[in-house]
Amino acid sequence: MNKNPYYSLEVEEAFIGSLLLDGELIKDCSLRPEHLYVPRLKTLFTYMLKLTEKGKPIDMVSVAEEAGNELFNLGGGSYLAAISGSVPTTANFHYYQDTVKAYFRKRRTVEIAHRIKQDAEEGDIETILRDGITELQQVEEHSVAYEQGEIKNNLIDLYHECEKDMGEIGGIPTGFATLDNLTGGFQESDFIVIGARPSVGKTAFALNLALKAAQEDIAIIFSLEMATKQLLKRAVAQVAEVSSVKLRNPYKLLEDHDWNELHRAMGALSQLNLHIFDQGGMDVTFIRSNVRKLRRKYAEKKRILVVIDYLQLIMGDPRLKGNRQAEISEISRTLKQMAKELNVVVIALSQLSRAVESRQDKRPMLSDLRESGQIEQDSDVIAFLYRDDYYNQRSKEKDRIEIIIAKQRNGPVGTVYLKFHKEFGRFQELAG
């Protein structure tokens, strides 16, 4: 019996033997040749996949024919017969397959760990850790992703979803009926970008969305610009409807009714499913790692909304240093991949270029997204915030903000109008 901790000869032979006995099992196979350790079994599996590509059956005769003169070096027909005969039942095929996968992941993990150890002696530790973590995540998420494009399981899931009552909207509610009507709520696996010029209200709006989501679902905020206490102070002001100016010096400025509302707000906030990260120098690896941990914690029982404030402050890949556009492009792609792979909603706030200021109509456009057209390509939804009173103090539209949906991959574009109480940082539907 093979006792090597990194592979099992018997299990790999049972896997190949099962395929020789029942070639139809190849349709349920999610392995690639590199997942196997034993060279001749890896080669035999490669021949089987070639037969499948050619539309030919898999059995001892067809594999021997495909191998040709190479069969002798693989052990000959007697070896094929031996490993087929050693399989007690093909009913255990999925067990053999899963065990081969587990051994492969163990080998890859050890290989990556050894390389990290060697590189750490001389290389840049930040780069080594980032790359190592990324590779380890890929082992967990992608190492067994040979799916052959099967759609049956997805169709079954889709059918079951159709049977569920999703309520008025299918996604995570925004808290604003007019916005929900336009978007259907925020859909899982979507990458959403919210852009505006500085001080228009991006952070306040995102906080409104996160607090609403955290009532029933999970909200995670990665705050690269503001400390957790500052963000919570804004949240308290919003929920309590207490002026943020008063909260700068609450002991002196809060009145009795303000204190009552403050206590109520803090009690309500303590019950929310809200997580805030404010570490300096965050990169996408840090963000992805923590989202994955929370996804694992809640499994699929809860939907997750991730807010990143804001995109341009995320640390880029040092290897791309000096090319900020390439850094932002890579960050954008990775955030979209994270949304899809972890089935979460990702909202990234984004600064806009100064080109907005030079136009007569200062409503943002897609071309105003700073530093990368890749953001436009990766995003499922792009929304811009615009306030007329931001540019014109005499505006007749005081405290009104426009939420401009400039792109929506699976829905219409349009504009939603909300009231913005700047003193509380609170948004609400316009009356009437």
CB 87 within 8 A of CB 14: yes
DSSP string, 172-186: B--S-HHHHHHHSSB
Q: How far apart (Å, rounded) are the C-alpha atoms in residues 331 and 327?
A: 6
CB 308 within 8 A of CB 287: yes
Q: What CA–CA distances, in Å, run from 288 to 51, 317, 337?
A: 39, 14, 10
What residues form DSSP beta bridges with 402? 386, 417
Q: How far apart (Å, rounded) are the C-alpha atoms in residues 16 and 4?
A: 19
At residue 383, φ and ψ (nearest 5 deg) are -125, 140
At residue 207, φ and ψ (nearest 5 deg) are -65, -40
- Which contiguous run of DSSP H or E holds residue 382? strand 381-387
Rg value, the chain, Cα? 28
- Cβ-count burial 69-83 (b if 16+ within 10 Å, e if not): eebeebeeeebbeeb
CB 67 within 8 A of CB 37: no
CB 401 within 8 A of CB 387: yes
Residue 241 token pair = 């409807």
Residue 310 token pair = 């804001």
Q: How far apart (Å, rounded) are the C-alpha atoms in residues 258 and 243?
A: 9
**List 10, 135, 225, 402, catalytic entry:** 225
The reply to whether 188 belongs to the active site is no
How far, in whole angstroms, is CA 111 from its chain's centroid? 26
Residue that has been written with the tokens 């995570």 in this structure = 172
CB 288 within 8 A of CB 300: no
Q: How far apart (Å, rounded) are the C-alpha atoms in residues 121 and 105?
A: 25
**Helix-then-strand count for the chain, H and E:** 16, 9
Residues marked active site are found at 225
